[in-house]
């Protein structure tokens, strides 16, 4: 894979929103509806209460992952890799970058919601040390929702 940089970006940038729209299309194809209806705002991803990261290759955004503060935790949102870049470890790199950012902000763990129709995401999270927790978020109580968490090391 070409040289890939992971950088912070504004959630409301047009190029970021195009990638988010692709993410929502992917979720819509899996689950129906419009994708993820969780209320989000660009301000959710502004440090120190969040961060939105993108992977850039040859000037093109190919992956995203953000986090927003949820109490003492960092809630993972909008984790996505474009189809052409899948299967090369990029999602794992994005997840690690989120964990690093959240650790630096003093979060104690990363929490997330995913769905049972995303087996590749479930496999990634479990192999990265995430364990099931009680459902907590916007989709709490919905069929097929799976919530996970991973403890973060104390900030240095």
pLDDT for 81 equals 96
How would you class 84 by CB atoms within 10 Å of its CB: exposed for 0-12, middle for 13-18, buried for 19 or more?
exposed
Per-residue CA distances from 27 to 23, 91, 115, 132 (Å): 6, 16, 9, 21
10-residue stretch averages of pLDDT, the chain, 156 residues long: 89 96 87 77 95 96 97 96 94 98 97 93 97 88 89 87
Q: If you search the block for the tokens 């990634």, which residue do you land on?
A: 124
Q: Are 72 and 115 in contact (CB under 8 A)?
A: no
Burial of residue 55 (CB within 10 Å: 0-12, 13-18, 19+) is: buried
Cα angle: 133, vertex 137, 139; to 5 degrees: 105
Give SS3 for 1: coil
* pLDDT score for 30: 84
Domains, the chain, with CATH or none: 4-151 (3.40.630.30)
The per-residue pLDDT for 147 is 96
pLDDT for the residue 126: 98
Token match 């729209």: residue?
21
Task: Dump the DSSP string for 86-137.
Answer: TTSSHHHHHHHHHHHHHHHTT-SEEEEEEETT-HHHHHHHHHTT-EEE---S
pLDDT of 2? 67
pTM comes to: 0.93
SS3 call for 3: coil
Cα distance between residue 70 and residue 145, in whole Å: 18
CA distances from 37 to 24, 85, 130, 138 (A): 9, 25, 23, 8
What is the structure's pLDDT at 35?
66
């Amino acid at each position: 894979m070409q040289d890939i940089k992971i950088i912070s970006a504004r959630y409301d940038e047009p190029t970021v929103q195009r990638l988010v729209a692709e993410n929502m299309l992917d979720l819509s194809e899996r689950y129906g509806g419009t994708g993820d209806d969780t209320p989000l705002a660009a301000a959710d991803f502004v440090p120190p209460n969040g961060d939105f990261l993108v992977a850039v290759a040859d000037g093109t955004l190919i992956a995203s992952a953000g986090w927003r503060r949820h109490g003492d935790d960092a809630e993972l949102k909008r984790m996505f890799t474009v189809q052409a870049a899948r299967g090369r470890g990029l999602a794992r790199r994005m997840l690690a970058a989120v964990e690093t950012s959240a650790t630096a902000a003093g979060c104690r763990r990363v929490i997330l919601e995913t769905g049972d129709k995303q087996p590749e995401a479930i496999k990634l999270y479990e192999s990265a040390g995430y364990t099931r927790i009680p459902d907590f978020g916007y989709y709490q109580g919905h069929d097929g929702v799976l919530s996970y968490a991973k403890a973060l090391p104390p900030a240095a």
